[in-house]
Amino acid sequence: MPVEAPYLLTGRVALISGSSRGIGAAMAVDFAEAGARVIVTARQQEKADAVAANIREAGGEAEAYAYDASVPAAGARLVAAIHRDIGQLDILVNNAAILRPHVIAKLSESEFDEIFAVNTRAAVFLCQACRPLLEQSADAAIVNITAAGAHSPMEGIGAYCASKAAMVNFTRTLAREWTASGIRVNALTPGSVATDMILPTDPARRAEFEKNMASQNLMQRLADPVEIARAARFLVSPAASFITGQTLIVDGGLLA
């Protein structure tokens, strides 16, 4: 058996929420290169279409669906469409998330509700909606993308950190409840990654922000999104067949 074989995803169907940019798009491309048929999602259909088209142009398999994680029952509708159009699901990656920077004193109730709706509620109920299809898979796996703030609180993004900490806990609970049904459930915590969600738009501020972020981890650099994507692929691959209920931290030593 080739060394690479346990890390391949040939013949498997992978749903990645929030996969039109950043880490999500990197995972979509990486999973497709490893042989998976990837389901790309974004709030806007055209953004999901663009990533899926790029994957197909490179020789991979990809489908695109609009999915707004802030809308209740959107996950159930998405999975119903996947069941109708594809009829198979082996992998779920909950990556869709939002960030609303605020110190707690200025956090509004609407912002709190929005953050938990997208980062926590949507992920939990997407898992629930996907379960019937995942149970039919010979090698089902869920990965919930969390954040360093889930493990170490960070000033100015308290609600975001709390929503991700909740997903760490949910991950362990889901693993306890679903592993016996053949579904492995793990979490992945990225560290300092240069993505549009967190970087300032002003070029000068962006450069300074990246420099400050890089200085906080032991490797003194930011991660490329593909480095996070490869870690996620490991968790959903046969190479991680005995791993469930765990959180893999890929942070360049940020939390060391």
Q: pLDDT truncated to tens, each residue of the chain (256 aa)?
A: 566 899 999 999 999 999 999 999 999 999 999 999 999 999 999 999 999 999 999 999 999 999 999 999 999 999 999 999 999 999 999 999 999 999 999 999 999 999 999 999 999 999 999 999 999 999 999 999 999 999 998 999 999 999 999 999 999 999 999 999 999 999 999 998 877 666 667 777 878 888 888 999 999 999 999 999 999 999 999 999 999 999 999 999 999 9
Q: CATH number, domain at 227?
A: 3.40.50.720
Task: Establish if 234 belongs to a structural domain.
Answer: yes
Query: Which among 178, 30, 23, 32 is positioned nearest to 94, based on CA atoms?
Result: 23
Q: What is the pLDDT of residues 164-197, one digit of tens each?
A: 999 999 999 999 999 999 999 999 999 988 776 6
Calculate the CA 184 to chain-centre distance: 15
Q: Could you give the 3-state DSSP secondary structure of residue 242?
A: coil
Residue 87 belongs to a domain? yes
Cβ neighbours, 10 Å, residue 3:
6
Does residue 253 sit within a domain?
A: no
Phi, then psi, of 229 in degrees rounded to 5: -60, -40
Which residue reads 């806007």 in tokens? Answer: 44
In this predicted structure, what is the pLDDT of residue 3?
65
- What are 71-104's pLDDT values in tens digits? 999 999 999 999 999 999 999 999 999 999 999 9
Q: Distances in Å between the alpha carbon of 32 and those of 15, 36, 59, 166, 177?
A: 11, 5, 9, 29, 29
Q: Is residue 151 part of a domain?
A: yes
Query: 33, 60 in Cβ contact below 8 A?
Result: yes
Give how far Cα 184 sits from Cα of 35, 43, 51, 90, Å.
Answer: 20, 27, 27, 11
Query: What are the helix (H) ranges across the chain?
Result: 22-33, 45-57, 74-85, 109-116, 122-134, 158-178, 203-215, 225-236
Q: What is the DSSP letter of 238?
A: G
Domain annotation covers residue 255: no
- Please identify every residue annotated as catalytic: 160
In a domain, residue 252? The reply is no
Q: Report how far residue 166's alpha carbon sits from residue 150's, in angstroms, rounded to the nearest whole number.
A: 8
With vertex at residue 187, the alpha carbon angle to CA 185 and CA 192, rounded to the nearest 5 degrees, is 165
* pLDDT of the residue at 199: 66
Structural domain boundaries, residue 190? 5-247
> Is 120 a member of any domain?
yes
What is the number of structural domains in the chain? Answer: 1
CA distance 106 to 102: 6
Amino acid letter, 157: I
For residue 110, which phi and psi values (nearest 5 degrees)?
Answer: -65, -40
- Is residue 254 in some structural domain? no
